Structure 1
Amino acid sequence: MGEEMVTAANIVVSLVLGGFLLLVLRFCDALLLKPRRLRSRLVKQGIGGPEPSFLYGNIAEMKRIIETQEPLVEKSGASGELVHAWPSVVFPYLQQWRQEYGTTFLYSTGNIQLLCITDLEMVKEVIHCTSLNLGKPTYLSTERGPLLGRGILSSNGPYWAYQRKIIAPEFYVHRVKGMVNLMAESTLTMLRTWENRSESSEGKVEIRVDEDFRSLSADIISRACFGRSYVQGENIFSKLQSLQQIMSKGNIGVPGLRYIPNKHNREIWKLEREIDSMILEVVKSRSDDDKNKCDLLQSILSAAESYGDNSDIPADIS
C-alpha cells in the first residue's frame, strides 16, 4: 500500500513538473523566440529597425523620443505662423526611425512586432494584395478589445464577412445621401454657437475646434445610429472617449499586463461594463413600433434578424 502511494505521488509530481515545464517553454516561445524568429525573417530581407528590449520592446525609447521632441510652437517661423507638421509631432519616433532606417523599418511594442511602411508604391501593393493571410492584427481584439470589441475593425474571417454583410448596405450612396440633412443640421448648430461666441466677444474669440469637431462627430453619429435615442448615444460616446483616454496611457503589447487588476485596468473594465450595459439597454428598449424607424441601429438589428438562419454564420455570433 505504501509503495503504491509513493508511486502515485511520483506520478503526480512528474505531471505537475511536466506541465510547469511546458508552460515555461510556451512562455519562452511567445515572449522571446517567436518575436526573434519574426524579426530575423525580416532582417534577412534587408529590413532594419531599433533593437527592442525584453518584454517592453521599443516602448521606453518611444517615450524618450516623445519627451525630448521640440514643441510645435518652437518650430514656428519668425512670422508666428504655426507649422502644421502633425505626423512628426504625434509620432516623432516614426519620423526619427525613418531617417535612420529608411522608408521601411521594424519596431515593437512589447512582444508585438510592427512593420512600418512609408513608401507609397509599397503601400499600394499591400492594399491591392488580396491574400487572406493579411488579416487584422490580433492585438486589436486583445490589447484594444475593450475599445474595439469584436467589431468590423478588429474581426477576421467569417466574423468580418458576417458583419460586413450587415453593415455595408447602410453605407451605399443613397443611404448616405439620406443623412445629409442630419449632418447639415448638426453642423449649422455648431456654427451658430461659434457666431454667438464671436458676437459676445466683440468679434475676437479663440475656438478649440478639435473639441467642437469631436462633439459634432459624436452628435451626427449618435443621431444617425440611435435616432430618437440620440441622447443615450451621446452618453455612450462620452464613455468611449473616457475609455480611449485611459487606454492611451497604457503600454500596448506588454505580455499579461492587461490581466493585472491594478487601478488602470480596473477603470478600463468598469467603463467597458458600463458601455456594454448602455448599448444593450438601447437595443432592448426597441419595441415593435421602432421597426419602422430608419436609423442605423434598427437597420442593423433588422439585417441581423434576416441573416439569423444563415448556416454560414459562426455559431458563437448568432
Structure 2
Amino acid sequence: MEKTVTLVTVSVAIVVVSWWTWRTLKLVWFRPKMLESYLRRQGLSGTPYTPLVGDLRRNFCMMMEAKSKPIKPTDDISPRVVPFPFEMLKNHGMTFFTWLGTTPTITIMDPEHIKEVFNKIYDFQKPHTFPLGEKLAKGLATYDGEKWAKHRRIINPAFHLEKIKNMVPAFHQSCSEVVGKWDKLVLDKGSSCEVDVWPGLVSMTADVISRTAFGSSYKEGQRIFELQGELAQLIILTFLKSFIPGYLYLPTKDNRRIKAACREIHVILKGIMNKRLRAREAGEAPSDDLLGILLESNSGQTKGNEMSTEDVMEECKLFYFAGQETTSVLLVWTMVMLSQHQDWQARAREEVKQVFGDKEPDTEGLNQLKVMTMILYEVLRLYPPAAQLTRAIHKEIKLGDLTLPGGVQINLPILLVHRDTQLWGNDAGEFKPGRFKDGVSKATNGQVSFFPFAWGPRICIGQNFALMETKMALALILKKFSFELSPSYVHAPYTVLTLHPQFGAHLILHKL
C-alpha cells in the first residue's frame, strides 16, 4: 500500500514537472521561434531571438550609453532617446522586428499602416506586457473593447471645450504663482537671472492638475503627484527585472516601496472620493472640477453602465499622471526651443501683446494665438512627450501586404516618424514652425505622420486641456521675460516614461 502511494506521488510529480517544463520551453523557445519563422517568411528582417530576454538587455545597454553623453542643442535627439530603434531603422529600413522579451515587436513607419492600426482599435489593442506600468494608472489609456468605450463615453463631458473654458482661471492662478516666483528671483539679481525652469514647470503643471481635478482638495492631490513621480522612477529602475517570471512578487526593497506608494495613493484618493460623495449627497459638492464632472456624468448612466468607485479612482490617477507629464514636458522643450530661436520667441511675444495688450490672458484670446499654436505643434513634432506607442495583436491579421500572427506587437515610433526626411523633407530635423501655418493636415499632406497625442478613435482625450494650459503658461511667461540658454545648460533629453531634460533646463531670464 505504501509503495503504491509512493509510486502515485512520484508519477504525479513527474507529470507536473513535465507539464511545467513543456510550458516553459513553449513560452521561452518554441513559440518565439515559430513566430520568428513566420515573420521572416513574410520578408521581414529583424534581430535573431535570444531566449527569454530578447533584445531587452541590448536596448537597455544602448540607452544607458546614450544617456551618459549629452548632445548639442542642434543635434538629432533620436540616437540619444531611442538608440536601438534608430540603429535598427538604419540597418533594416522602415519595417523591422525586434524582441520585447519573448514577444516579437514589429516597428512600422508607413503612414497608411499607422492609420490602419489607429483606426482598427478592436484588432490592434493596448498591450499588457508590462504590468508595472499599470501601477501608475490604468484607466482609459489602458482599457480595450467595451470597457474602453464605456469609460470614454462617461469621461468625454469633462473635456468638452466649454468645461475646459471654466478651468482657465485655475490655469491662470497656478501659472501666475510660478511666474511670480521667477520674477522675484530676477528682481533680486537686478534685471537678469539664471533659473532652472524645469522644477518650476513641473510644480506649475502639478498644481494645475491638482486644482482642476480635485478643486478644494488640491493639496491632497499634490501628494499623489509626488508619489507618482517616485513610482515612475522606481518603475524605470526595475524595468528589466520585471520580465523575470515572479520577480514582481519578491519582497525586494524597490517592490516593497512600489506597493507602499500605491497603497498611499489609494488611501488619499479614497478619502477624497468619500468626502466628495458625502458632499454630493448633501447637495454641497462642486461640479466644475474634473472629479465633479466625472461623478455627475457617471451618475447619469443607466444601472450597470456606470463606473465603479475603483474605476473613477483609476481615472483620477490617469488625469494626474498623463495631464501633468504631457504639459510639463511640452512647456520645457518649448522654452528650450524658443531660447535657441529668438526670432520665433519675438514673434510669439508680439502676438501675445497684440491679442491681450495689458489684459490678463483669457480663453477667447488663447484660442486666437496662431503663431503660438504653430510653435507648439513644431515642438510636439521634434520633442513628442512619448517617443513611441505600442499595440498588441491577438489573432492573425493583415496589415498592408503583411499577414501578422496573433501574439506579436506593433511599435509606432512617434519620434522617428516625426523626424523622417521622406515624410517631412530634408529639413525634418530643423525647427520650422511655419510648416504648420495652414494646419496639421496641410503640413502632413493628409498623412498620419504627426501623432504626438496618438490618432483616430483613441486620440488623447486631454489634448485640448494640455494645449490650453500650455498657452496660458507661455502667454504669462512671454509677457514678463525674454529668455535664452544659459552657458551652463546641458542638452540631454531622455525618457522617464515621457521626454525629460536629464540635467534640467537652465535659462537666463531677462525682465521685460
TM range (shorter): 0.7 to 0.9
For structure 1, the 5+ residue unaligned runs are: 77-81
AA partner of residue 64 (structure 1): C
SS of equivalent residue, structure 1 residue 165: helix
**Contact 1:158 1:313 survives alignment (8 Å):** no
State whether structure 2 residue 59 is matched by structure 1 residue 62: yes
**Contact 2:214 2:291 survives alignment (8 Å):** yes
**Contact 2:66 2:79 survives alignment (8 Å):** no
Residue 298 of structure 1, aligned match among 292, 297, 312: 292
SS of equivalent residue, structure 2 residue 48: coil
The total of aligned residue pairs comes to 305
State whether structure 2 residue 231 is matched by structure 1 residue 243: yes
**Contact 1:111 1:255 survives alignment (8 Å):** no
Residue 33 of structure 2, aligned match among 28, 31, 36: 36
Superposition map of 1:68-87 within 5 A: 68-69=65-66, 73=70, 75-76=71-72, 82-83=73-74, 85-87=76-78
Write out per-residue CA displacement over residues 143-185 of structure 1, whole angstroms, 9 at most, x where no aligned residue. 3221123x11111222212221221121112112222222122
AA partner of residue 63 (structure 1): F
Change (3 A) 1:61 1:234: same
Measure how far apart 1:226 and its partner are. Answer: 0.4
Distance 2:252 2:188 in 1: 47
The match for 1:189 is 177
Change (3 A) 1:38 1:317: farther
Measure how far apart 1:41 and its partner are. Answer: 2.6
Moved over 4 A (4+): 70-73, 311-314
Tell me the C-alpha RMSD between the 2 structures.
2.7
SS of equivalent residue, structure 2 residue 124: coil
The match for 1:277 is 267
Distance 1:36 1:158 in 2: 33
**Contact 1:105 1:117 survives alignment (8 Å):** yes
**Contact 2:166 2:288 survives alignment (8 Å):** no
SS of equivalent residue, structure 1 residue 26: helix
The match for 1:91 is 82
SS of equivalent residue, structure 1 residue 103: coil
- Higher relative contact order, chain-length normalized (CA < 8 Å, sep 6+): 2
AA partner of residue 160 (structure 2): Y
Question: Which has more strand, going by share of residues?
Answer: 2
**Contact 1:136 1:155 survives alignment (8 Å):** yes
Distance 1:231 1:48 in 2: 52
Write out per-residue CA displacement over residues 166-219 of structure 1, whole angstroms, 9 at most, x where no aligned residue. 211211121122222221222222222222222222333333333322222211
**Contact 2:118 2:124 survives alignment (8 Å):** no
**Contact 1:59 1:251 survives alignment (8 Å):** no
Residue 207 of structure 2, aligned match among 194, 219, 229: 219
SS of equivalent residue, structure 1 residue 161: helix
Distance 2:229 2:11 in 1: 51
State whether structure 2 residue 126 is matched by structure 1 residue 136: yes
Measure how far apart 1:234 and its partner are. Answer: 0.9
SS of equivalent residue, structure 2 residue 243: coil
AA partner of residue 266 (structure 2): D
AA partner of residue 83 (structure 2): P
**Contact 2:212 2:290 survives alignment (8 Å):** yes
Residue 250 of structure 2, aligned match among 260, 265, 270: 260
Write out per-residue CA displacement over residues 43-79 of structure 1, whole angstroms, 9 at most, x where no aligned residue. 2222222334222221221233234438664x43xxx
AA partner of residue 238 (structure 1): E
SS of equivalent residue, structure 1 residue 179: helix
Change (3 A) 1:292 1:202: closer
Distance 2:79 2:193 in 1: 28
Write out per-residue CA displacement over residues 232-280 of structure 1, whole angstroms, 9 at most, x where no aligned residue. 1111011000100111112256132322222221221111111111111
The match for 1:106 is 97
Distance 1:312 1:8 in 2: 54
Change (3 A) 1:204 1:292: closer
SS of equivalent residue, structure 2 residue 91: helix
For structure 2, the 5+ residue unaligned runs are: 313-512
The match for 1:79 is none
